[in-house]
Amino acid sequence: MRGVAAGPTWVFGYGSLIYKVDFPFLRREVASISGWQRRFWQGSHDHRGTPERPGRVVTLIPAPGRICRGVAYLVDPRVFAHLDHREKNGYQRIATHMLCGNPGERVEGVFYIAAPDNPAFLGDAPIGEIASHIAASHGPSGSNRDYLLQLAAALRELGDEDEHVMELELLLSG
């Protein structure tokens, strides 16, 4: 993980950080970043799966021209001890520019990404296989299916119909 800034820092959430806010924050805004898209390509052996049967959670992959919507939180630097622990399974913190609020205010901040070179990265698979994997996974934080459904509902509340997430939701609901 990179060093922590001296003052309040924006953190962009695109997965469970949207709906599972278990940390204090100074400000919360709907936000977006450019050039990234969500994918259920990261393994989770500590939250939504086990070491023997990891679940699948979202990470961001580069996608030129795409916009990823989520939520940004302005946090005190002390919050990073909690967030770094929460995002420990292969995630790293990287700097980014984001648009916050309406109209969008351009701010600098960070987000967590699980890059392909981390040991828990599962990568791409046919959408039906990803859905089956999610349906069968469960870990200390609950079922992988619940993670997907909570994320889909949270994105819908933000007005974001993320095609990857919504397609998986449809496959798991039917």
Beta-bridge partners for 172: none
87 labelled catalytic: yes
Q: Which candidate in 29, 52, 87, 108 is catalytic?
A: 87
Contacts of 32 (CB under 8 A, 6+ apart): 67, 68, 69, 70, 98, 99, 104
- Structural element, H or E, at residue 132: helix 127-136
Q: How far apart are CA 41 and CA 33, in angstroms?
A: 19
Active site residues: 87
